Amino acid sequence: MTSSDQQVDSNLSQENGLAIINSKAPFGSNYGKDALDVALIFGSFEQKVSLFFQGDGVYQLIANQDASLVSIKDYLKTFSAFEFYDIEDIYVCQQSLVNRQLDEAFHINDVQVLASVEFGKALNRHQHVLRF
């Protein structure tokens, strides 16, 4: 690593804020909704929050899902409100999509698909991490 790389890394580590990792499929448990509630509260308190989707959590971003078919209130629709809460950093793990043969067809815009190393680096920029 060169000294300029180290400079960049130390700047990034000062970014702070909360990272929320979503690791569960959307309708098999309450984890996704519980994570969403935390994200929106941090957003409404004007605290920086970034969302990470990894493992089965990537299913929360896939387009054209109909929760009403399984009688679940569709909390995924609320994802479209992220910009009103200034939640702008949304990262998805590319390898998790590939492993599940999922296309990058998401129901919200501005999702950043990152390779594992980049995903890890983005996560590392945050002071706090919660995982659901």
Measured CA to CA, the distance from residue 81 to residue 110 in angstroms comes to 13
Residue 81 interacts with another protein (CB under 8 A): yes or no: no
Can you count the helices (H) and strands (E) in the chain? 4, 5
Q: Which stretch binds another protein (CB under 8 A): 34-42, 58-66, 74-82, 115-123?
A: 34-42
Residue 128 interacts with another protein (CB under 8 A): yes or no: yes
Report the sign of the C-alpha dihedral through residues 31, 34, 40, 41, in that order: negative
Find, among 130, 60, 59, the residue nearest to 100 by Cα. Answer: 59
Shortest CB 126 distance to another protein, Å: 10
Measured CA to CA, the distance from residue 101 to residue 44 in angstroms comes to 35
Q: Which is nearer to another protein, 11 or 47 (CB)?
A: 47
Q: Which is nearer to another protein, 21 or 114 (CB)?
A: 21
> Which residues are at the interface with another protein (CB under 8 A)?
18, 30-31, 34, 37-38, 41-42, 45, 47, 127-131
